[in-house]
Chains A and B, each alone.
Chain A
Amino acid sequence: MSELLTKLPAQLRELATDSLYERLAYSHDMSPVEGFLTGDWLKTVPDLVVLPHSREDVALLLAWAEEERIPVTPRGAGSTSLFQSVPAKGGVVCDLSWLNTIGPWDLTAGTVRVGAGTIIYDLIQQAEMRGWTLATFPSSAPGGTIGGWFNNGGRGYGALLHGNLLEQVRGLEVVLPGGRIEWLTRDNSELPIEWFLGSEGTLGIVTQLEIELLRRPEAQGHIAFGFHDIAELQDFLTNYLWGPFLPYNVTFVSTTSGGQQLQRINWDAMLPSNFFVASFFGSLDHVELGIQRMRAFKSEYRVRQLPNWQAEKFWQDRYYNFRLQRTGPSLLGAEVVVPLAMISHYTRGIEQLATAQRKPMITYGYLINRKEVYVTTMFWSDEARTISYLLDLSLVSALYNIALKAEGKPVGIGLWNTPYLRHIYSARERRAMWERKQKLDPQLILNPGKTYRATKLLRPSVFSPAMLLTRGFRKLITRIGRARS
């Protein structure tokens, strides 16, 4: 038994493990990051893993951690890719998977209390059995936890019509550093729920949420349009969205090499390079009139309506964006939020990059409100070929730069996006965030080494030139390769 484990309060000891094999499982997330990249300057393998079964366990852990000055990294499903839930400085990982109780339900008010470790898909299934559903949910619902999603901003399908998860949260149970348990409501001005949204587990450990549900819609309908030119797609959506009958969700796809890429991911190769799928949920009237209005818009654009089955299939596959990986071996990419008005600008930038670097790319995104799109751009790489993989990694920063030029910003910070902090938040926002952190966690126990400032190697002064150089080198190699062939 490790020394740290013996120091842990007795009640927590049986919920904890110091087995190296177990701890290794917590030293990574979805990002395929080579071990040597995290080598000496980070301590990604925790010293202990604790799996609490109650908020009291979490409170005991945080009280002890503060006293012993041990870092604690909360973790849901570990299904993010910026190391949000991977320790940067060792310590304890608090795996919240077993805080997964769903209920009690208040079906008159249409609310449910749900443990932070609940898998979102399980919650949706349970709600649907009772005639309700979640107003918004992420594409990763079968993997992610509700607490993890909230801590990472709570954006998802349906946000266009219903707002993000914050809009649905009626109450939040959070354990603060030191072990104080708080139940926060929407009118709490001293400790607003908003502070915790997207805080990446750095202010407190969310243990329970009260969610307002949506009645299962009476009807749904899906319609898809293909565009020759992405600018027309942008224009179509912008104009449509300022009228009535807002869709529940709009997803768009843009590829740099058309059908070939679509075929690689089992989509119809005949689909156009740019298309969007709009999904209408609600009363029969709302769905029918929405689809009619969209069809009426068609005449003003050079646009092709895609067969209904394709639109429906697209929605059915809403959790399966990752099937891209099948054609891997590895996927790299960037998640950004870009103004709808700049989407054509952004995708043109992607096209230029793809051509210059000879790297086909695929971009898809969904609207999170009338003005903004949550966009993911992906390309294939091979993490087993270390050099080319490292060169490819530099393209991720190029994607971010394209987004920044299009007035967008990266989504999430964790560890790997700390070089972009100043682009993601204004100086005022950063100051406010830091003040909150100091107020709630002055000893920097919770999830340290991330979110607020970049570590040495990731400071923009080091990181940006390094990425530029690597990208230049990659381009050079590509050119040489092209000349030879």
Chain B
Amino acid sequence: MQPLANITPLKPAGAVEVRNVGQVFTTSTQDVVALDDVSLEVKPGRFVVLVGPSGCGKSTLLMMMAGLRQQTSGAVLINGAPIPKPDPNRVGVVFQEASLFPWLTAEENVEFPLALRGTPKAERRAKAQDALKLVGLDGFGKRHPHELSGGMKQRVSIARGLVQDPPVLLMDEPFAALDEQTRMTMGDELLRIWAATGKTVVFVTHSLTEAVYLADEVVVMSARPGRIVDRLTVSLPRPRTYDMLSGDVFGGLRDRIWRHIRKSA
């Protein structure tokens, strides 16, 4: 069984380019510089994780890549083109939690972006089925979100992000609300899905272990104003395994990230 028979042909993975981006929030009392001259290049098919102290602008940066917010200065390019408004054909987004519509079933939630574009019902259903199968939720399509566990809800969100086969998948702390065990499983699941689809992934997390475990590359940001202070390549082989967590390579990378974060906090 082809994992995405109805979604294929898979689009090639996309490139993300952030060029000298700045973001200033003007509030009634003061101007807040959230991002200051951030440049970042994500090659197609890479798994890049953004980490940094709370409030350093990770979500803001992700929102720009999703076309949900426009930068004050600089440019954000997806596959070489700017993204002035959200475009689910180019970028899929998965949020922290509870962004599923509670009055729709799992499959209706996954179909939502397709329904917005007037895709015929049969095609929608078929694509949603495929996406749910891909995230391991075959047979749960008729359930409502409140009938699903936290991990299952996040799987539905991922399916919804992938249903239009976007070349880039953005994830803002998608597992932050899950317990540690579920979180570990979901990490493995995500890596499996990523391997099956070959998407470019930009992933935000507060967990250093999660960052190193998942990433090809970890991008470390400083406290406000957000700047990129370090980029680490994680050379651990794939598939990643639980044993690697206790290895020296893993520990060394995690320590290096932690020192950056402690310095700027």
Q: Do A and B bind each other?
A: no
Instruction: Give residues in A with beta carbon < 8 Å to B.
Output: none
